[in-house]
């Protein structure tokens, strides 16, 4: 293992891409399909980052597991259909995201990765749509891990990259991301443009307002 390698992990929804319209649309379709009242937009966005079964358990706690499973499948079907129809426009990158990924990727010591509540199919489709296949050395998804804020995704990413926790940072927009980072023993950088208010990111090492603030935030952690 090379001691100076650093792993920079990104959440996806609300951090790299603005997928709120797609998420709310698919959640609306899922609830409509089973004849349930659609939760409020802000309620839907509050669960972004959780794995779908945990998200549905929060959004429809009065429903049994069978109905919650129908909601999960309805969401997946709608999200897939939207993504195939719209391509990259389905989940547009936030301003400065691609440019900053390229800047970070160009540094030999940096390894980039993803830790997301998305499915493997959803993440792979998004990465392909935006031409980001070469950027990430590790992709941790909901299919193979407990939901955030459990630290399993970060532990797996560290193992795959061969990096120690002290040389890893998790970047995300929700309390689930920051709590996952804390549970894994790595630093967390919160972003203010996502789906949780900055005040909810209490365990973050720091919070940035634009992508161009990220290099300085990383330097503060690793100096």
What three-state secondary structure class fits 199? helix
Instruction: Out of 13, 18, 177, 179, pick the active-site residue.
Output: 13
Catalytic residue among 4, 11, 18, 173: 11
The CA distance from 186 to 21, in Å, is: 31
Please say if 32 is a catalytic residue. Answer: no
Nearest in space to 55 (alpha carbons), one of 83, 75, 78, 80: 75
Going by C-alpha positions, the residue among 44, 54, 53, 52 that lies closest to residue 14 is: 44
Q: For this structure, is 13 an active site residue? A: yes
Alpha carbon distances (Å) from 74 to 13, 157, 169 = 19, 30, 34
Angle formed by the axes of helices 65-86 and 120-129, nearest 10°: 20
Q: Which residues contact 123 (CB under 8 A, 6 or more apart)?
A: 12, 114, 116, 139, 141
Q: Which residues are known to be catalytic?
A: 11, 13
């Amino acid at each position: 293992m090379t001691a100076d390698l650093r792993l920079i992990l990104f959440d996806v929804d609300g951090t790299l891409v603005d997928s709120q319209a797609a998420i709310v649309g698919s959640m609306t379709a899922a609830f409509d399909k089973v004849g349930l009242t659609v939760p409020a937009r802000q309620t839907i966005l509050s669960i972004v980052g959780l794995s779908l079964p945990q998200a549905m358990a929060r959004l429809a706690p009065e429903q049994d597991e069978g109905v919650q499973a129908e909601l999960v499948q309805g969401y997946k079907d709608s999200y897939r259909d939207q993504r195939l129809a719209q391509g990259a426009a389905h989940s547009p990158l936030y301003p400065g995201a691609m440019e900053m990924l390229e800047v970070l990727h160009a540094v030999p010591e940096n390894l980039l990765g993803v830790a997301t509540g998305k499915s493997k199919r959803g993440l792979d489709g998004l990465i392909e749509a935006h031409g980001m296949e070469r950027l990430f050395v590790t992709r941790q998804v909901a299919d193979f891990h407990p939901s955030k804020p459990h630290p399993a995704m970060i532990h797996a990413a560290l193992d795959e990259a061969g990096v120690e926790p002290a040389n890893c940072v998790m970047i995300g927009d929700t309390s689930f991301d920051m709590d996952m980072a804390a549970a894994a023993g790595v630093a967390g950088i919160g972003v203010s443009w996502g789906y949780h208010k900055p005040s909810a990111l209490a365990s973050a090492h720091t919070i940035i307002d634009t992508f161009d603030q990220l290099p300085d935030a990383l330097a503060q952690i690793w100096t």
